[in-house]
Amino acid sequence: MKKSVNAALAQSEETTEELVGILTAISVVSKRLANKRAALEKPPDVGREKTDGTAETAAAHAD
pTM: 0.53
The whole-angstrom separation of Cα 13 and Cα 9 is 6
Q: What is the mean pLDDT of residues 10-19?
A: 90
pLDDT the model gives residue 63: 46
Residue type, 48: R
Q: Which residue has the higher pLDDT, 50 or 22?
A: 22
Q: What is the mean pLDDT of residues 5-15?
A: 83
Residue type, 59: A
Q: What tens digit of pLDDT does each residue of 27-46 get?
A: 999 999 999 999 998 877 65
